[in-house]
């Protein structure tokens, strides 16, 4: 009897040995599942990051393409008349339309002469003060587009009085605003009258020109002085003498707000 009786210790060890692999298998599967879910989260996170990066790159490419196309389209546009354009960054772009006589000089001679003038000026005024953007000849007209460092540079090169800055800067520079001014609103020019410039023009920009030319400002014109000025658009005026005398010119004040 004694020899045939099973040993309890032996039986207990057998039951524990049988269940242990089962418990280890569950733990392993849980650990594997946790790792799988973590990998899924990492994959999803990486996909999101990659998607955001792709979207940013795509948006950047679209922006660059739009700017490039805009630049190409803009570079193809030329003014019909001589035009001075004041830019937000202070630079001045001048598009000059002049008569061209091929019997007097050739296009290459005109370009060489223009480049010589600009090079000579840049040597004394400063490197890259003036850049020649375009020179073309069509029929009996020549078109020359140049960019100037600022209004002072333009005035120094052309000898035409030119200014573009704030009203306060204009007063500090000694400009007298004792003129008759007309309001400009909705492309309509009001009646010329004496105005309180210190209160009305405070904080605004002022372009001052003494040249018979078309003027474009980087904003909306609010006032113009009453001296041979015609409003073309909200940002554009033309200056010309009523009697057609191109040798005469008036000092014109264009008051505007930046866009």
| pLDDT for position 46 | 78
SS (H, E, C) the chain: CCCCCCCHHHHHHHHHHHHHHHHHHHHHHHHHHHHHHHHHHHHHHHHHHHHHHHHHHHHHHHHHHHHHHHHHHHHHCCCCCCEEEECCCCCEEEEEEEECCCCCCCHHHHHHHHHHHHHHHHHHHCCCCEEEEEEEEECCEEEEEEEECCHHHHHHHHCCCEEEEEHHHHHHCCCCCCCCEEEEECCEECCCECCCHHHHCCCCEEEEECCCCEEECCEEEEEEECCCEEEEECCEEEECCCCCCCCCCCCEEEEEEEC
Name the range with the highest mean pLDDT among 1-5, 20-24, 236-240.
Answer: 236-240
Name the range with the highest mean pLDDT among 51-55, 93-97, 122-126.
Answer: 93-97
Reading phi first (left if > 0) and then psi (alpha if -120 to 50, else beta), residue 195 is in beta
Kindly calculate the radius of gyration of the chain based on its CA atoms and give it in whole angstroms.
38
Report residue 66's pLDDT band, with 50, 70 and 90 as the boundaries.
Answer: low
Over residues 9-20, mean pLDDT = 41
Residues 154 and 92 sit within 8 Å (Cβ to Cβ): yes
Encode 17-30: b = buried (16+ Cβ within 10 Å), e = exposed: eeeeeeeeeeeeee
| pLDDT for position 242 | 78
The token duo for 202 is 């405070």
Give how far Cα 52 sits from Cα of 26, 48, 56, 58, 79, Å.
Answer: 39, 6, 6, 10, 43
pTM of the full structure: 0.69
β-bridge mates for residue 181, sequence order: 193, 225
pLDDT in tens, 114-150: 999 999 999 999 888 999 999 999 989 999 999 999 9
Average pLDDT, the chain: 83
Q: Comparing C-alpha atoms, which of 163, 92, 160 is closest to residue 130?
A: 92
């Amino acid at each position: 009897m004694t020899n045939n009786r099973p040993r309890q210790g032996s039986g207990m060890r057998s039951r524990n040995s049988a269940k242990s692999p089962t418990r280890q298998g569950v733990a392993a599967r849980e650990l594997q599942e946790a790792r799988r879910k973590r990998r899924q989260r990492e994959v999803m996170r990486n996909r999101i990051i990659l998607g955001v990066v792709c979207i940013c790159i795509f948006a950047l490419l679209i922006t660059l393409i739009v700017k490039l196309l805009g630049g190409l389209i803009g570079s193809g546009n030329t003014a019909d008349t001589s035009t001075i354009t004041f830019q937000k960054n202070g630079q001045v772009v001048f598009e000059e339309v002049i008569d061209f006589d091929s019997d007097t000089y050739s296009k290459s001679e005109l370009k060489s002469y223009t480049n010589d003038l600009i090079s000579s000026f840049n040597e004394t005024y400063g490197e890259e003060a003036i850049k020649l953007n375009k020179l073309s000849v069509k029929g009996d007209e020549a078109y020359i587009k140049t960019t100037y460092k600022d209004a002072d540079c333009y005035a120094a090169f052309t000898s035409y009085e030119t200014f573009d800055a704030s009203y306060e800067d204009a007063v500090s520079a000694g400009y007298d605003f004792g003129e008759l001014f007309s309001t400009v609103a909705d492309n309509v020019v009001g009646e010329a009258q004496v105005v309180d410039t210190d209160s009305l023009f405070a904080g605004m920009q002022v372009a001052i020109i003494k040249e018979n030319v078309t003027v474009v400002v980087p904003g909306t014109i609010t006032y113009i002085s009453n001296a041979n000025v015609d409003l073309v658009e909200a940002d554009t005026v033309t200056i010309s003498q009523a009697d057609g005398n191109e040798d005469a010119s008036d000092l014109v004040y264009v008051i505007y707000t930046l866009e």
